Chains A and B, each alone.
Chain A
């Protein structure tokens, strides 16, 4: 007997539909706090005086800082029926640094959805593509993330 698919028609309808945008100010303090949290002592992420002397002219965000900025609400929600989730991976492409003081506008869409059996039962994979654009309309980065969800084991 084959297991029933966890992917509904409603979920399929949401594939490729871009979310509403949401804009975020890149705050200096948030960058410094993020760099500390990931344990990266590079002065371009935490020391304004030192960072000013570099080609960047000031503090910039570490590469994965953009993860802290969410997109706006989905126009068509792609919601997994499963209650447990894992992060499967991330692919970033970078075009411009994100600087303290920038305003970054974030949109996301589900690029692909599929399922396969795994150690924790049927695993649902949702591939999400998120775009980060600065206040000059320039693309800063694109992230393709793999979200994995599954039914939590019976307690």
Chain B
């Protein structure tokens, strides 16, 4: 397990450690099974094309999970994820890498809690932000 992140370590404008993902068609099938989302646009190419899509596409909820991974990886065992949101603006297809990234936008104390807001997003290999979102976390303090 990685070293614990503390409230004192965080500054506005700081970047979160990037999480790289390499989704494959196999991963989409695994995610379909694990989540129970069997909509065919995620594994049946003909079905996806008949629905006006370029190819099979990643489940929005899988992209949401990638952003969840970004956050739980960053806050560590003693940090708590309070809010997580994502908008699936652009479609992502399997076969190319995708990067979960984030930046700290605000740090404040409220009701005795150390809170940090972040802008988060998924970026495709062309550098396009396909999935913007935001997160709120509570972090432990050193003292």
Contact of B84 among A33, A36, A44, A63 (CB under 8 A): A63
Please determine whether B52 and A90 come into contact, CB atoms closer than 8 angstroms: no
> Nearest Cβ distance between residue B20 and chain A, in whole angstroms?
10
| Interface residue? B86 (CB, 8 A) | yes
Chain A residue numbers with a CB within 8 Å of B80 are: 94
Supply 20 A–B pairs (Cβ within 8 Å), ascending by A. A30-B34, A36-B34, A37-B27, A37-B30, A38-B34, A38-B65, A40-B65, A42-B1, A42-B69, A44-B1, A62-B65, A63-B72, A84-B52, A89-B88, A90-B60, A90-B61, A90-B64, A92-B83, A152-B50, A155-B50
Tell me the A residues contacting B by CB distance below 8 Å.
30, 33-34, 36-40, 42-44, 50, 54-56, 62-64, 67-68, 70, 84-94, 120, 146, 152-153, 155
Please determine whether A37 and B52 come into contact, CB atoms closer than 8 angstroms: no
Chain A residue numbers with a CB within 8 Å of B69 are: 38-40, 42, 62
> Nearest Cβ distance between residue A81 and chain B, in whole angstroms?
16
Contact of B88 among A62, A87, A155 (CB under 8 A): A87
Chain B residue numbers with a CB within 8 Å of A93 are: 82-83
Given the interface pairs A64-B64, A87-B60, the reply to whether A92 lies near B84 with Cβ below 8 Å is yes
The 3 residue pairs across chains A and B that have the minimum distance between CB atoms: A87-B60, A37-B34, A89-B87
> Nearest Cβ distance between residue A84 and chain B, in whole angstroms?
5
